[in-house]
Amino acid sequence: MKEKAWWPDDYININVKDLLYMWFDTQVAFVKSLYPILGKEKTLDLLKAAVEKTAGSFAKGPYYRGPEVKSFADFGEMGAGLFASIITRTLDPTMELVQKTTVIPMDSMKQTKNTSSFKITRCLWAEIFKDLGGPEVGYAVSCYSDFARTRSWNPKLKLKRTQTIMEGAPYCDFCYIWEE
């Protein structure tokens, strides 16, 4: 018999922006406190290594409810599901959070037989990390994890990106490529 949890099995009433500020405020302060000890570059390298490990197992993790990506068509279906998740609530919580905290103009989306590209023109994550004075921490925690997460879906899927809002660019450019 499964033991009943002592905490309520329901949702709290907090908006996404406040939740992200609460999550990242301590992270930024902690990481920046290590700069004088380890140096900024070494600290960020260690953070990226930790992110690589956790995001690299994303598609196999307990909170992932997306499809198994065995082909580029599966990846396309997952992307279509990301935009529909606001209605269906079928994707994993992380993907739904991304969907609710970024702006992707529909006219920026392009798809070919083995590529899918789009631009993000506004990112709440970048706004928060910049407000907290740690966009480099935000890049290591959020932007850098996109590459490991992509590999976790399928090793044939590659992500190419040349710029991010977190790094000061006007938009993030994503290009997913399926390599046979």
| Per-position DSSP letters for 57-89, written without gaps between them | TGGGSTT--S----SHHHHHHHHHHHHHHHHH-
d(CA 16, CA 101): 8
Q: Are 141 and 27 in contact (CB under 8 A)?
A: yes
- Residue 90: is its pLDDT beyond 60? no
Burial of 118 (0-12, 13-18, 19+ CB in 10 A): buried
* Between 40 and 15, the higher pLDDT residue: 40
Section 49-55 average pLDDT:
89
Q: Per the structure block, which two tokens stand in for 127?
A: 């706004």
pLDDT at 11: 63
pLDDT at 83: 47
d(CA 67, CA 74): 7
The model's pTM is 0.81
Q: Where are the beta strands (DSSP E) in 87-171?
A: 102-103, 110-111, 115-120, 122-123, 157-160
Break the chain into its structural domains and give their ranges: 37-178
| Fold of the domain built from segment(s) 37-178 | H-NOX domain (3.90.1520)
Section 93-120 average pLDDT:
77
Section 40-45 average pLDDT:
98
pLDDT at 130: 97
124-131 and 16-38 helices, crossing angle to 10°: 50
